[in-house]
Amino acid sequence: MRALQVLGYGPDDHITVRDVAQPQPRTGEVRVRVHACGISYVDLLLARGAYQVRPTPPFIPGSEYAGVVDAIGPDTETGLVPGDLVCGTRQGAWAEYVCVPAARVHALPPGTDMALASVALASAYTALYALRTRGGLQAGDTLLVLGAAGAVGHAAVQIGRQLGARVLALASTDAKRAAVRAAGADAVIDSGGDWKDAVKREAGTRGVDLVFDPVGGAATDTAFRTLGWGGRHLMIGFAGGEIGALKTNLSIVKGAALVGVDVRQFGEREPERAEALSRECVAWFADGRIRPVLRRAWPVERFAQAAEDAQDRSGIGRVVITF
């Protein structure tokens, strides 16, 4: 089968399409014939050795996929049958076939767009875990989403609305702000200027209840200052490329909390809760309650171009590779 492999840490030319042995499903697993895979910021960090986890090369990177059930492992109890459309997350997803524990494969309705389905779960799962589980978001809360046109920010806007929040969103260009409005944000603010006062005006005297921050850098301190009494600041990641410095006296003045969000450890430490959350996100996607934006699909042989597209922050929506 074809797969993308990391042969050594370094620039993109170390991620190569190769022919490797097709995996065989074991007891408790199903094999999926992959149609499409997402390319995420974390996927590329890991493939280049810049993530907190560093697999030993050679290895197959990738974490998001959608495809068709191809085979069922021996003595595996599952409601799935060959031919079912499915999606899921799994390290090593950038391959023509993947074997996955049956409980972690999620059925999709007939006719589902496989490219969209391949990027439907991971960002929504991160956003839902952050907002509801870690942030305790309640109906009527005011939510501020940084980087709202990015994959996880876009998901947070949609899920925040589903949970009944009033959503304020930051985005840097007219096109991105239009995409965020289409996702359901109640107010969209230009992140290119001095946006703190604009957020405070939109939030009113109560202030922001919850900040969703996948950006980091200087934006973290600014966003924390928009919180009202008892607010929570969710730290998702550092897509801006820098780890921000927060003046900790602000947490006392505002009675506010900085809350870390690590979905990887959540999945490892609480797998049953994590799988229930994944199933909920897939159901929301199947029902049309949440929907990612697809920018472009590239064949796997054009991975270098796909990775370049995925890193282009001027674009809107997810980039996928197809087999």
**DSSP letter at 219?**
H
- Of 201, 183, 197, 200, the closest CA to residue 147 belongs to 183
Please, which pLDDT band fits residue 13 given cuts at 50, 70 and 90?
low
As a whole number, the mean pLDDT across the chain is: 95
CB 275, CB 4: distance < 8 Å: no
- 192-210 confidence digits (pLDDT tens): 889 999 999 999 999 999 9
Q: Give the C-alpha distances (Å, rounded to integers) separating 267 from 66, 79, 148, 273.
A: 20, 23, 24, 8
Q: Does residue 11 have a pLDDT over 90?
A: no
- 227-284 confidence digits (pLDDT tens): 999 999 999 999 888 998 899 999 999 999 999 999 999 999 999 999 999 999 999 9
| β-strand partners of 19 | 2
CA distance 114 to 36: 6
Q: Sketch out the chain's domains with CATH numbers.
A: 2-120+292-322 (3.90.180.10), 125-262 (3.40.50.720)
* Residue % of the chain over a pLDDT of 70: 99
- 65-116 confidence digits (pLDDT tens): 999 999 999 999 999 999 999 999 999 999 999 999 999 999 999 999 999 9
CB 281, CB 289: distance < 8 Å: no
CB 245, CB 217: distance < 8 Å: no
Phi, psi (deg, nearest 5) at residue 223: -65, -40
**DSSP letter at 21?**
P
